[in-house]
Structure 1
Amino acid sequence: MFYAQSPKKTGLPREVVKWLQALDLSMYPKNVCRDFSSGYLVAEIFSRYYPQDFSVHSYDKGTSLSAKQRNWSQIERSLQRQNLHLMKEVIDGAIHCKPGAAELLVQEVYTLLTNRRIRDVQGPEWDFTDQEYQELLPTLARSTASKAIKNNLRITELMAEPDISTNQRKAEVILHRHLEHKAIERVLNPGRFTVRREKPNLGQLAAKNLVLSSRGDECFDSPSSKDPTSKLCSSSTWSGAAVSFKEIKVHQPVRRSLVSC
């Protein structure tokens, strides 16, 4: 039994939620994005209107990519017999759990079966990305370029379409969109991207050692040592880095041999 759930939690309009409740579905869709991606619930919805063409027992309840592809291929063949069509972009987005794709798919099925239009459905431009979610986050918490590609290019997409050139083009589109939003942020909030150097950094404060000589080692008397044999030597064999060390000469007494007379 499909119990009531707030449209704000499911992401579906209220009239669609009431319609799903009346269908008495066998599975409770706790997560619209996940539960509708396999196609099983979609096939069960169509079976309420076309029981002969949609046999629920022939569909797989699994969540693997192969199970999803088999279910959706069977759904598309059954829809063609009834001269019904679902948008391929929406189906692909639902299979790969893209943001907003499953919600739009359920609304499209609702319109297709009930001939009713939903008032809050926008135009034909869909954006199955996490951009809407990123805009809700603080500026510092938003995704980087690599994270944006990871979020919007799912692993199931790479498995379904293993062509390197195709996936590279998808990544380039995501990266281009990410850079465009960054450029807009620079225009709207230029102060955030301004580098402020009121105080010198550690690199500027650190003393830089200069190489005294580039010809071998060089030794000189240490001014801070009272030992006349103490010397400081610098070596130029460390790729331009000056290495200083102290050379101490120790005069050991001559050891006399103990020989009995």
Structure 2
Amino acid sequence: MSPKKTALPREVVKWLQTLDLSFYPKNVRRDFSNGYLVAEIFSHYYPHGFPLHSYDKGTSLCAKQWNWSQIGRSLQKQNLHLMKEAIDGTIHCKSGAAELLVQQIYTILTKRHISDIQKQESDFTDQQYQESLPALARSTASKAIKNNLAITEIMAKPDICTNQKKTEVILHRHLEHKAEERVLNPGRFKVKSNRSQLSAKNVVPPSQGDECSDSSSSGGTASKLWSSSTTTGASVSFKEIKVHQPVKHSLVNY
């Protein structure tokens, strides 16, 4: 079985299948977060450097922090290094972090190069996923904060200022994307044109000037008809009626 919705390259998936792990990662983001599978993978290459009996299979934040601290000390002894941002993103189940970390482990242990290795951002946001969705299905501001700021991040670093800065960065990025959408698709956001744009649309070309015609009626009224061209090409007629006012006789006797 292959991992569900995994972005791992084919050669990495085949490599994981040859390691005879205690359980196969069906969900890469979830199953690698506590670090136990990472320690098990390294134990196949360094049996004495990563004793599995000292690792916890739990999924709590304490278990994750303990396992990854153990892995960090063991990697230092073997003079091996993993990307810290990828480790933090894997602990907090960030988008793309676990996939990038597994690929890095693959290149370190097998000395092989991955041709289509992923290029993920250091903050591991869901921007790429949001861009693949239709405009109506994309996250709101509150949903964007929830998706990109895990509860375990707040628990690991409960400092208010730090979490506030993270929230502001997420919100600023979300507003920038919304501004780009307004420019690309103004009709969806019902963006109204300003007065200069409206006046430019309503200007009649000089070659299509107004045409007027006079006609007289039997009732002593004169009428004028104007036909002007609009921006849509349709002809609209307007009629002006002039009425002769009756003469008022003065009531004053001279």
| TM bucket, shorter chain | 0.7 to 0.9
Q: Deviations over 1:233-260 (max 9, x none)?
A: xxxxxxxxxxxxxxxxxxxxxxxxxxxx
Q: Match of 1:157?
A: 153
Q: What pairs up with 1:73-112 in 2 under 5 angstroms?
A: 73-112=69-108
**Residue 172 (structure 2) pairs with residue 176 (structure 1):** yes
Task: Report the CA distance shift for 1:103/1:124 in structure 2 as closer, same or farther (over 3 A).
Answer: closer
Distance 2:106 2:77 in 1: 19
Indicate the larger mover: 128-137 or 46-55. 128-137
Task: Give the deviation of 1:126 after TM superposition.
Answer: 4.0
The letter of the residue matching 1:167 is: N
Distance 1:170 1:9 in 2: 27
Distance 2:121 2:67 in 1: 26
Distance 1:113 1:154 in 2: 30
Q: Match of 1:36?
A: 32
Q: Deviations over 1:155-182 (max 9, x none)?
A: 0000000000000000011011101111
Indicate the larger mover: 116-125 or 10-19. 116-125
Q: Match of 1:5?
A: 2
Distance 1:61 1:193 in 2: 48
Distance 2:103 2:122 in 1: 13
Q: Deviations over 1:105-128 (max 9, x none)?
A: 100100111111111124474451
Query: Secondary structure of the equivalent of 2:105?
Result: helix
Q: Match of 2:16?
A: 20
Query: Secondary structure of the equivalent of 2:22?
Result: coil
Give the TM-score of the pair, scaled to structure 2: 0.72
Task: Report the CA distance shift for 1:156/1:113 in structure 2 as closer, same or farther (over 3 A).
Answer: same
1:59 paired residue among 29, 52, 55: 55
Query: Secondary structure of the equivalent of 1:10?
Result: coil
Indicate the larger mover: 126-135 or 178-187. 126-135
Distance 2:29 2:77 in 1: 27
Query: Secondary structure of the equivalent of 1:84?
Result: coil
Aligned residue pairs total 192
Task: Report the CA distance shift for 1:117/1:42 in structure 2 as closer, same or farther (over 3 A).
Answer: same
Q: Deviations over 1:68-91 (max 9, x none)?
A: 000000000000001101111000
Q: Deviations over 1:199-223 (max 9, x none)?
A: xxxxxxxxxxxxxxxxxxxxxxxxx
RMSD: 1.5
1:136 paired residue among 113, 128, 132: 132
Structure 2 contact 12–103 (Cα < 8 Å) conserved: yes
Distance 2:120 2:59 in 1: 29
Q: Could you tell me which runs of 5 or more consecutive residues in structure 1 were left unpaired when the two chains were aligned.
A: 197-261
Distance 1:122 1:18 in 2: 17
Structure 2 contact 29–98 (Cα < 8 Å) conserved: yes
Structure 2 contact 34–57 (Cα < 8 Å) conserved: yes
Give the TM-score of the pair, scaled to structure 1: 0.71
Identity of aligned residues (%): 78
Task: Report the CA distance shift for 1:122/1:17 in structure 2 as closer, same or farther (over 3 A).
Answer: closer
